[in-house]
């Protein structure tokens, strides 16, 4: 996958793959991104609503189709 693509990966998801997608994009671990998100929820603001919006807006990673029986 390209480092510039912002997609929700098929593997490594916990809920929707939003944090894993941001982690891939910015070159950090998914765990680090999840901790940052959870800590940001302690601050006032619409973090949870932004997470839901990103779940809807971010495309899911495409599958290559290889490995499927025909």
Least confident of 8-12, 26-30, 60-64: 60-64
Structural domain spans, the chain? 18-57
3-state class of 60 per DSSP? strand
Mean pLDDT of 30-41: 94
Find out whether 37 and 31 touch, Cβ atoms under 8 Å: no
Read off the pTM.
Answer: 0.76
Mean pLDDT score of the chain: 85
3-state class of 8 per DSSP? strand
| Residue 9 neighbours by CB distance under 10 Å | 16
**Cα(37)–Cα(42) distance, integer angstroms:** 9
């Amino acid at each position: 996958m390209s480092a510039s693509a912002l997609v929700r990966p098929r593997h490594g998801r916990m809920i929707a793959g939003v944090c894993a997608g941001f982690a891939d994009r910015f070159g950090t671990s998914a765990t680090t991104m999840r901790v940052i998100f959870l800590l940001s929820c302690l601050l006032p603001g619409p973090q949870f609503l932004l997470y839901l919006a990103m779940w809807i807006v971010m495309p899911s990673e495409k599958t290559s189709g290889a490995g499927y029986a025909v």
